[in-house]
Amino acid sequence: MSDFEGLTALVTGGASGIGRATADLLAERGATVAVLDLDPSTVGEPLTGHRADVTDDASVRAAVAAAVDGLGGLDVLINNAGVGAQGTVEANSDEEWHRVFDVNVLGMVRTARACLPHLRASAHAAIVNTCSIAATAGLPQRALYSATKGAVHSLTLAMAADHVREGIRVNCVNPGTVDTPWIGRLLNAADDPAAERAALEARQPTGRLVSAAEVAGAIAYLASPLSGATTGTALAVDGGMQGLRPRPESR
């Protein structure tokens, strides 16, 4: 399929995990793709990498300007860079709350702000935000992370309303637990990584983790010009975790 032929895309957090799988898929489907990341050193042809920290407005503006210059315009923004946080509402300091909101929410705000003037010039403009099932289901030990993703969900709806008349669609994906380097780090830090992995797998009715490629497929669906009537939606990519209540298997 080459629905992105002739289009350009920018993927934040595109050097690893979901962002990298998305950048690769959009390129496979015909887009010219730039990646914005804290560490773009692993990004190579056909992608172009730009170093930026989404918590630093000047760095985001400079990287977006350089990326758009290289791409010759911008049709698609994938707002994906994010970090995790663990614990109940008592677990993290004010500084940590500010830091994680700064990356996960304000990072998307800064990038969208820098990209909107370019997206307005596109006939197929789309933004896809990487949200999470943590926005719509109560997960234990994820108070701070969930609060940031709830904000991303609301931001997606508000932006979709603000920009619909400008021809810019805004949607988000809500992944369950995805097998990325991030989850690898989380498992390595657990007391019993195998038991932790089994618990995460069992939480999803499919009985396995979501793959980064599966999330990339959903992001590409929302970003594609073929989805021109879809805006203001949150697409679950969670192995049924949000919507299904299967009975336990009989023993």
Ligand X SMILES: NC(=O)c1ccc[n+]([C@@H]2O[C@H](COP(=O)([O-])OP(=O)(O)OC[C@H]3O[C@@H](n4cnc5c(N)ncnc54)[C@H](O)[C@@H]3O)[C@@H](O)[C@H]2O)c1
* Binding positions for ligand X, rule: CB under 6 A: 13, 15-19, 37-39, 52-55, 80-83, 103, 107, 130, 132, 175, 177-178, 180-183
In 29-168, alpha helices (H): 57-71, 94-101, 107-119, 143-163
Q: Is 145 a catalytic residue?
A: yes
Nearer to ligand X, 124 or 216 (CB): 216
Nearest CA to 122 among 167, 176, 184, 77?
167
Structural contact between residues 222 and 128, judged by C-beta atoms closer than 8 angstroms: yes
Structural contact between residues 48 and 68, judged by C-beta atoms closer than 8 angstroms: no
Closest distance of CB 145 from ligand X, Å? 7
Distance from C-alpha of 23 to C-alpha of 112, rounded to nearest angstrom: 17
Nearer to ligand X, 13 or 225 (CB): 13
- Catalytically annotated residue among 145, 159, 175, 238: 145
Nearer to ligand X, 122 or 242 (CB): 242
Closest distance of CB 172 from ligand X, Å? 10
Exposure letters 155-172 (e unless 16+ CB within 10 A, then b): bbbebbeebeeeebbbbb
Closest distance of CB 203 from ligand X, Å? 11
Sign of CA dihedral 128, 129, 132, 133: negative
Which tokens is 51 given? 């170093």
Nearer to ligand X, 121 or 190 (CB): 190
Closest distance of CB 150 from ligand X, Å? 12
- Count CB-CB contacts under 10 A for residue 88: 11
| Residues identified as active-site | 145
